């Protein structure tokens, strides 16, 4: 057969690869399995990706892009900080539930030793800056407590979101969540986490300032 891979086929490969990596991790994931599920030959994968690791990285980039998009969309047009927080939290959960493999990939990548800096840079920069700026602005308007360091506050908040991702996307953390509260509803968790964050940031309604 001599037809070039369509964009859609490339997307398919990436999605199947994310699933395979999510299921089995970088090591145990099998290129041949990804090829089979994608309906292409092994060779074609090596045409587009130098080796397994590079495919893994592309999956990562792909995953992060999707995740970022979802998260950004979540807060767009949201007026209040707390409203944005809740939207982010809900987006986290929804995304993790629907795209567990992406979360598992995300978790896997954070275990990388080599190239950690590079990866972190690519993946976390935007979020870090966005959240920090968000808090800075809120602080300037008196919406959050004055003694909060915006950068660290942003990191702590993002830490909570990351763990939320894992809790809804990785088997281990799901089990762990059950140990804390076997029957918690998603709504109750969101409510509690919003309260938690609200207190942590010392959020006051704007009108209250």
Partner DNA sequence: AATGAATGAGAATTCATTCAT
Partner DNA sequence: TATGAATGAATTCTCATTCAT
- Map residue 29 onto helix, strand or coil: coil
23, 28, 176, 206: which one contacts DNA (CB under 7 A)? 28
Choosing from 29, 67, 88, 93, the residue that interacts with DNA (CB under 7 A) is: 29
In the complex, minimum distance from the CB of residue 57 to DNA, in angstroms, rounded to a whole number: 12
Structure tokens, 68: 């970022």
Q: Which of 11, 53, 69, 149 binds DNA (CB under 7 A)?
A: 53
Shortest spacing between CB 65 and DNA, in angstroms: 23
- Decide: helix, strand or coil at residue 60: helix
**DSSP run (H or E) holding 110:** none
First to last CA, the chain: 69
Distance of alpha carbon 84 from its chain centroid, rounded? Answer: 16
Should residue 2 be labelled a site residue for DNA when binding is judged by CB under 7 A? yes
**Residue 11 vs 205, nearer CB to a second copy:** 205
122 binding partner (options DNA, a second copy, none; Cβ < 5 to 8 Å by kind): none
How many positions of this chain bind DNA (CB under 7 A)?
A: 21
Give yes or no for residue 115 binding DNA (CB under 7 A): no
Q: Does 4 bind DNA (CB under 7 A)?
A: yes
Residue whose C-alpha is closest to residue 172's, from 108, 89, 114? 108
Cβ atoms of 184 and 177 within 8 Å: the answer is yes
Minimum separation from the CB atom of position 132 to a second copy (A): 7
Kindly tell me the burial class for residue 90, based on how many C-beta atoms sit within 10 Å of its own C-beta (0-12, 13-18, 19 or more).
Answer: middle
To DNA, the closest distance from the beta carbon of 120 in angstroms equals 23
Sign of the alpha-carbon dihedral angle for 158, 162, 163, 168: positive
Q: Which residues are CB-contacts of 41 (< 8 A; sequence separation ≥ 6)?
A: 35
CB of 61 to DNA, least distance (A): 17
Query: What does 47 interact with, of DNA, a second copy, none (CB < 5 to 8 A by kind)?
Result: DNA
* Both structure tokens of 62: 């792909």
Q: Which one of 17, 18, 40, 81 is in contact with DNA (CB under 7 A)?
A: 40
Residue 163 near which of DNA, a second copy, none (CB within 5-8 Å, type-dependent): a second copy
Contact residues toward DNA (CB under 7 A) are 1-5, 28-32, 40-44, 46-48, 51-53
């Amino acid at each position: 057969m001599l037809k070039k891979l369509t964009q859609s086929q490339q997307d398919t490969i990436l999605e199947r690869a994310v699933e395979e990596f999510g299921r089995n991790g970088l090591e145990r994931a099998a290129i041949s399995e990804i090829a089979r599920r994608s309906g292409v030959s092994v060779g074609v994968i090596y045409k587009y990706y130098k080796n397994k690791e590079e495919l893994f990285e592309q999956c990562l980039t792909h995953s992060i892009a999707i995740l970022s998009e979802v998260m950004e969309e979540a807060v767009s047009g949201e007026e209040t900080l707390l409203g944005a927080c809740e939207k982010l939290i809900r987006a986290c959960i929804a995304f993790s539930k629907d795209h567990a493999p992406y979360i598992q990939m995300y978790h896997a990548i954070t275990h990388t030793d080599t190239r950690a800096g590079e990866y972190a840079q690519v993946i976390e920069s935007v979020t870090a800056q966005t959240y920090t700026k968000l808090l800075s602005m809120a602080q300037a308007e008196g919406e959050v407590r004055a003694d909060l360091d915006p950068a660290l506050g942003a990191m702590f908040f993002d830490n909570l979101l990351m763990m939320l991702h894992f809790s809804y996307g990785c088997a281990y953390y799901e089990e762990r969540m059950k140990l804390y509260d076997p029957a918690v509803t998603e709504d109750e968790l969101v409510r509690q986490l919003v309260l938690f964050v609200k207190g942590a940031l010392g959020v006051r309604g704007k009108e209250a300032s």
